[in-house]
Amino acid sequence: MLKILKKSGFASLLEITIAAIIFVIAGIGIFTTIAMFRPQATGSTNRLKAAYIGKYMLDELRSGVDANTWNTPSSNLFWPTPGTKLRTITINSVDYTIEWFSFLVPGLNVIETRMNITYSE
């Protein structure tokens, strides 16, 4: 077998060129696949940051709740006044806008807080 390889040569220039083209096409496919995953990872990071911001805001609202005044408009849940509240936080050039509304649920004697966090991508 060794004699056959020496007589005919290991590879011709045409074979080397075809093999190089195949490797380039395979490499482009791999890099394209990797590039497709990057934006999804960024979106996941932003969603995770938004969830942490929401938790932070709820903890901040909860921190001022007093057992004697939790269901009054002077409660920290209605801070600073009843109605829809807005706050914008910027992290790494991404603006997260937090909108929340706390209200006393009639007949149940509980306060419900609804929160929506939006961000630019």
User: Are 26 and 73 in contact, with CB atoms under 8 Å apart?
Assistant: no
Distance between CA 100 and CA 57 in Å, rounded?
9
Tell me the residue range of the domain where 105 lies: 12-119
Distance between CA 25 and CA 74 in Å, rounded?
67
Contacts of 112 (CB under 8 A, 6+ apart): 102, 103, 105
Q: Is residue 1 part of a domain?
A: no
Sign of the four-CA dihedral 42, 46, 48, 49: positive
Q: Is residue 7 part of a domain?
A: no
Give the tokens for residue 28.
Answer: 């482009």
Out of 33-37, 51-55, 97-101, pick the least confident: 33-37
Q: Is residue 5 part of a domain?
A: no
Question: Number of structural domains, the chain?
Answer: 1
pTM score, two decimals? 0.54
pLDDT digits (tens, 9 = 90+) for 64-92: 677 776 666 666 666 555 567 778 888 87
